Amino acid sequence: MLYASLLLAVFSFAVYFYLKGEFGALPAEEDAAYARLDYYRDGRFQSPVKTTFDPDKVSGGAGRSILRFFSRSVNAPDNPLPKVMLDKSSFSDPPSGYALYWLGHSSAILELDGKRLLFDPVFGNAAPLPFMVQRYDDAPIKREDLPTIDYIVITHNHYDHLEKQTVRSIKNGRFIVPLGLGATLREWGVDAHRITELGWGDSYTKDGLVITALEGVHFSGRGFFDRNRTLWAAYVVKSTRKTIFWSGDTGYGNHFARFKEQYGPFDLAAIEIDGWNSGWPRSHMFPEEAAQAALDLGAEETLPIHWGVFDLAMHPWHESIDAFLEKTKSSDLKILTPRMGEKVIPGVTHTEHWWN
C-alpha cells in the first residue's frame, strides 16, 4: 500500500512537471509595458470582439464527446494523404526569391528575397499530452530535416500553432512572436537575443524585410489559468517586391478590409479556413466568413490554411476546404491548394484539388 501510494505520488509529480513545461512560462502579470495598450486590461490581452463558448450549440454529431481527443478522429481520412516529403536537400542555399511550402494546418515555409520564414511549426500532435489530438498523418518534413531558417513566425500559443519540442529543436533564426510569448520561449531554452515580441501594429525591420503583427478576434492559452496572458496575431511580411498577409486564427471582422487599406495590395494571403463551430462562433471563421475575408484582402493569390491535419472542430477532414472553394467559386480569386510539402512558386505553379 505504501509503495502504491509512493508510486502514485511520483507519477503525479512527473505528470505535473511535464505539463508545466508544456504550458510554458508566462510574462509577469504586472508588466508595466502592457498597461499602456488599449487591448490589455486586468492582466489579460483583450480581443477586439469578445469570443464566446456555448456548449449547448456545439455541432459535430458523433465526434462531440471529449473522448474524441484521445483516439483517432472519426473524421480522419481513411488512407495516408498524398504529400511531397522534404528534407534539407529539398531547399536551395541561399533561399529563393519567392517560394512557398505548405506543411499542413498552419505550418509553412515561405522563401522571400533570399530569406526563409517558418510559420507556426507543428510536427507532432496538438495537445499537452502526446496521445491527445493526434494528426491525421505524418508531416511532410521531420523537425531534424528542416533547412536553415531566418525567421520563425508564431501567431499564438495554441497547441496547433506552437510546439515545445519544435521550438527547442530549432537552433538558428529569430523568433518573431506576439507579446508575452518571449517568457515561454526563454523557459524552453531559446536565447533572449533570438526573440522579438511584437504588439499589434508593431514591426520588425531587417535586411529589407518588414514583419508587422496585426490584431485578430481570438484568444490564447495552453494551461488552466493562462487565458489571454499572451497575445495572438496575424502578420504582414513585406519585402522589396512582395507583400504577404499571414492569418493567425481569427473570427471575421472589418479588420481584413482595414489591413488591405493600410498594408495592401497583397501578393499572397494565407487565410485560416477551419476551426469553425456554432459553439464558438467568434473565434474562427465560418466558410462564408473566410470567403469574405479572402475577398476583403483581395490578394493576387489566396492560400487556405489551418486544415488537413487536426480535427479541432468536428468536421469531416476536407469539409472546410470544399466549403471555402464553394463559397468563392463565383469570385475571381486565385486560390492555391498545394499538397503538403509541394513547392509552390506563386503565379507560376498550378495546384490541384488533390483530395478529390
- Give the range of 160-168, 172-180, 316-324, 328-336 binding Zn ion by CB under 5 A: 160-168
Which lies closer to Zn ion via its Cβ, residue 160 or residue 197?
160
Which residues fall within 8 angstroms of residue 316, CB to CB, at 6 or more apart? 75
Which lies closer to Zn ion via its Cβ, residue 205 or residue 278?
278
- Least distance in angstroms from the C-beta of 218 to Zn ion: 6
Identify the residue whose cell numbers are 507519477.
Answer: 11
- Give the range of 67-75, 130-138, 155-163, 333-341 binding Zn ion by CB under 5 A: 155-163
Does the N-terminal peptide bond of residue 94 adopt cis geometry, omega within 30 degrees of 0?
yes
Q: What is the radius of gyration, based on Cα positions, of the chain? A: 20
Are residues 157 and 221 in contact, defined by beta-carbon separation less than 8 angstroms? Answer: yes
- Nearest Cα to 248, choosing from 260, 264, 231? 231
158 binds Zn ion (CB under 5 A): yes
Identify the residue whose cell numbers are 507556426.
Answer: 120
DSSP 261-290: HHH---SEEEEE-----TTSTTTS--HHHH
- Give the range of 139-147, 152-160, 207-215, 321-329 binding Zn ion by CB under 5 A: 152-160
- Least distance in angstroms from the C-beta of 51 to Zn ion: 10
Which lies closer to Zn ion via its Cβ, residue 147 or residue 275?
275
Which lies closer to Zn ion via its Cβ, residue 147 or residue 287?
287
Buried b (16+ CB within 10 A) or exposed e, 5-30: eeeeeeeeeeeeeeeeebbbbbbeee
116 binds Zn ion (CB under 5 A): no
Are residues 263 and 230 in contact, defined by beta-carbon separation less than 8 angstroms? Answer: no
Which lies closer to Zn ion via its Cβ, residue 249 or residue 301?
249
- Give the range of 2-10, 198-206, 244-252, 290-298 binding Zn ion by CB under 5 A: 244-252
Which member of 137, 249, 274, 289 binds Zn ion (CB under 5 A)? Answer: 249
Which lies closer to Zn ion via its Cβ, residue 158 or residue 343?
158
282 binds Zn ion (CB under 5 A): no
Task: Identify the bridge partners of residue 99 per DSSP, sorted by sequence position.
Answer: 111
- Give the range of 44-52, 168-176, 246-254, 346-354 binding Zn ion by CB under 5 A: 246-254
Alpha-carbon span 118 to 135, nearest angstrom: 19
- Least distance in angstroms from the C-beta of 240 to Zn ion: 31
- Least distance in angstroms from the C-beta of 283 to Zn ion: 7
Which lies closer to Zn ion via its Cβ, residue 220 or residue 239?
220
- Least distance in angstroms from the C-beta of 249 to Zn ion: 4
Alpha-carbon span 46 to 52, nearest angstrom: 13
State the first-to-last Cα distance of the chain, in angstroms, to the nearest integer: 58
Which lies closer to Zn ion via its Cβ, residue 197 or residue 249?
249
What backbone torsions phi and psi does residue 144 show, to the nearest 5 degrees?
-70, -10
State the number of binding residues for Zn ion (CB under 5 A). Answer: 3
Which lies closer to Zn ion via its Cβ, residue 121 or residue 264?
121
160 binds Zn ion (CB under 5 A): yes
- Least distance in angstroms from the C-beta of 229 to Zn ion: 14
Are residues 143 and 123 in contact, defined by beta-carbon separation less than 8 angstroms? Answer: yes
- Least distance in angstroms from the C-beta of 275 to Zn ion: 6
Alpha-carbon span 137 to 108, nearest angstrom: 16
- Least distance in angstroms from the C-beta of 346 to Zn ion: 23
Residues interacting with Zn ion, by CB under 5 A? Answer: 158, 160, 249
